[in-house]
Amino acid sequence: MTEDRIAPVLKTEDLAVSRAGRLLLTGLTLTLEPGAILHVSGENGIGKTSLIRTLAGLAPPAGGRLWLSGVPFMEDPQGHRESCLMIAHENALKPALSVARNLTFWAQVWGATDASVAAVRRLFGLAALWERPVRTLSQGQKRRVSLARLAFAGDRPLLLLDEPWVGLDEAAAQELADCLFAHARAGRAIVMTSHQPVPMAGIATLHLKAHVAPAQEETETV
């Protein structure tokens, strides 16, 4: 008798990614198991953000195949999108609203529990900023507010972050690293882009080059 194998959280086969009709990446084959963390690096404009958007189901693949928890993207696009938590490079905060009201809004959008809404105040030193309008915050503080939405992951198996380290000081960067490792220990898979070194030891890195480069043609399992 053989045990049923748990499906990878994320799998791609010969995935191609485009932006505005221009092909950026081809032949990307990946397998991310529960608990995997993948750092996607590469020059600006190479397609890191477009890849994250494609993995999140916000842009259709330009070719190849994409699975989330064993389900093909084309079989259930809406379910795919709802099973991902994506934090984009833009902070997606309303400047006139307080930190509390911004995060309460996102908690409602992502169906967060009361416990996670209460817990988010303890992240990234946000208690001291809680009632301040976002427009009064520094860029680093705004990024911390945006990243605190990781508390609203719920049972989503895949976290996708685009340039999460930009604007963070050393303490906030360490707290983010600890937060991501905790999500990985909970069985989620994480893909994050960064053009700068990532302060997380022991994680896999995929360096993107121009499309049809060997880096995209090789199969990687994380």
Per-residue confidence band for 29, with pLDDT thresholds at 50, 70 and 90: very high
Domains in the chain: ranges and CATH:
34-58+82-207 (3.40.50.300)
pLDDT of residue 149 exceeding 90, the answer is yes
Q: Is the pLDDT of residue 212 over 50?
A: no
Residue 4 pLDDT exceeds 70: no
Compute the residue count for the chain: 222
**pLDDT for the residue numbered 222:** 63
Q: Token digits for 206?
A: 């995929």
pLDDT confidence bin for 221, thresholds 50/70/90:
low
Contact 123, 82 (CB under 8 A): no
Which H or E run contains 137?
Answer: none
Q: Has residue 8 got a pLDDT over 90?
A: yes
Distances 92 to 28, 39, 117, 142, 197 between C-alpha atoms, Å? 29, 22, 18, 10, 24
Is the pLDDT at 219 greater than 60? The verdict is no
pLDDT, mean of residues 50-58: 96
pLDDT at residue 63, as a whole number: 96
> What is the pLDDT confidence band of residue 119, given thresholds at 50, 70 and 90?
confident
Q: Tell me, what's the pLDDT at 196? A: 84
